[in-house]
Amino acid sequence: MSTYKASIYNYVFNSINAIIVIINGIVMVPIYFHYMSVSTYGAWLATGNMVAMLGLLESGFSSVITQKMAAAIGSGNKEGYGRLAGANIVTAIIIATAILLVGLSISPFIADWINVDGSVVNDIRLAYIIALLASSIAILVSLFGAFPQVWQDTKAVGMINICTGLLSIASLVAFLLFGFGVLSIAMSYLVRALLNLILQGTWILRKWRHESIQPPTYSISETKLLAKDCIFPFFSKLSGVLMGNSQSFIIAHFMNPALAAVYDITSKVCYVACGFVSQTNGSFFALFSLTLSSGDKEKIRSVFRNTTQFFAISLALIGLYSICFTEPIINYWVGLDKYGGTKLLIIIVIAKMVFQFRAYCNNILYTGGMINKSVKLDILCAIVYIGILFVIIKAVQIYAIPLATLVVSLLFIGWYLKLIKKHLALDARMLIWEFSRSMFVILPFVIIHYTLNFDYKNIYMYIGYFIIFSIVYAFVLYMTNIKFFRSLLSKTRNR
């Protein structure tokens, strides 16, 4: 399969998997409340996010492993690839086992840490253990997934992921109907992880047997060297996971599980939408990295401006619609009794947008080759975030997480911009201008929206308002970015 086709398949399948995640994370939530209380669901979010944090740590390894194996294949170093393939398999087993053991060691205390109601303590603890097992298996799947990536054969694995995702949702519904309650969510994760491991593992083994691909060879020294190279990326990923996935646990620990559910539901629309922006930006960063390495200053300037404009426009769009339309979505989704209020929503959205801008700056450093500097700043950022959070959480309670995120992001953005200007010779002022300009464009729409205060309970009137709102915003957006959109249209036609 060509690199171009493999990338297209990757993008398509990742998008479909993102939709499956939305079904699990949004569409299924109202159904959960028919089978469990808000407090029980909040307790699951807190423990489930702890498991997710453990599971996400592997990506600090997978990115390095994938890059190294791809480089070995690209240079024709078959023996080197074989050693790296063996090191990948050994590393996957070690990481999965270590995370399972660490997770099990804290399982007796998990319910106490998040103030779980005594009537559901056993269910929450068992759900945590099942989800932990699923996460450990998913780590094996993820690291073994580096093989189809470097072979540039992503179609079969993409189809497997979609099928297992759909089967996971079907199993979730079945478990709920059979009365497993909160255990159903964890059991559906285990179903998907096991099916992925069996089907993807079988496909990889068949590929090795029937095609002339260098088989893995096992070397202790290669495994140690790979682990050494992964240390900083691992801690960088740990810092990102702490900032992005610890909210439910922190709220449940310092307040109560019901508030964790309220926070999650209030932030859900913004967080899911930002996930799509991050995914879309990934494809542009690859282009930017290649362009930067070319040394063509004019081309670098053009690509940098276009990617920045695209990012700023996308982020502003998400911010506007999250602030203005989250409340009616929650009203029809799960009910306003689970909504944290407009004030909390606005602070969450602003904090998330600034956080995304900080992450964008950090990714520019990463794609510009400043990998060690980038990951060290990620680690430092997480340390400062935790420090600020513990200082303010008693005083401001549920607002502490978005406020700490906002403060630490603002502190580090200036640092990133100085490094971008100094080491990459890029126009940092343009980056600030594009981001600020996009935020300024949405401000009048937010003010007008809350001034008009349309009654969203009249659904037909509100749909009409939404359409008119969107048309006017699209017109203003086009007029304020006319050069960008004309350039985008011309490039599309040329292709």
Q: How distant, in Å, are the alpha carbons of 110, 117, 283 from that of 256?
A: 14, 10, 40
Residues of the chain with pLDDT under 50: 1-8, 283, 286, 492, 495
Backbone angles phi, psi at 370, to 5 degrees: -90, 60
Q: Rounded to an integer, what distance in angstroms lies between the CA atom of residue 399 and that of residue 342?
A: 12
Collapsing DSSP states into helix, strand and coil, what is residue 118?
helix
Q: Are 83 and 222 in contact (CB under 8 A)?
A: yes
E strands present in 195-328: none
Return the percent helix, strand and coil in the chain, to nearest 5: 90, 0, 10
pLDDT in tens, 232-291: 766 766 666 666 666 777 887 778 788 888 888 899 888 888 877 776 555 455 455 556
Q: Specify the pTM.
A: 0.75
3-state secondary structure of 21: helix
Taking alpha carbons only, the member of 382, 399, 400 closest to residue 391 is: 400
pLDDT of residue 6: 46
Q: Is the dihedral of CA 277, 278, 284, 288 positive or negative?
A: positive
Q: Which residue has the tokens 């002339």?
A: 212
Q: How many CB atoms lie within 10 A of CB 102?
A: 11
Q: How far apart are CA 35 and CA 40, in angstroms?
A: 10
Question: Closest Cα to residue 61, out of 84, 31, 77, 80?
Answer: 84
Predicted local distance difference test score (pLDDT) of residue 138: 87
Cβ(477)–Cβ(441) below 8 Å: yes
Taking residue 420's Cβ as centre, other Cβ atoms within 10 Å add up to 21
Q: Are 347 and 402 within 8 A, CB to CB?
A: yes
The CA-atom distances, in angstroms, between 232 and each of 9, 228, 323 are: 30, 8, 36
- Domain borders along the chain are 1-229, 231-495
- The Cα–Cα gap between 329 and 341 comes to 13
Measuring CA to CA, how many Å separate 76 from each of 4, 81, 146, 219, 225?
A: 20, 9, 18, 19, 20
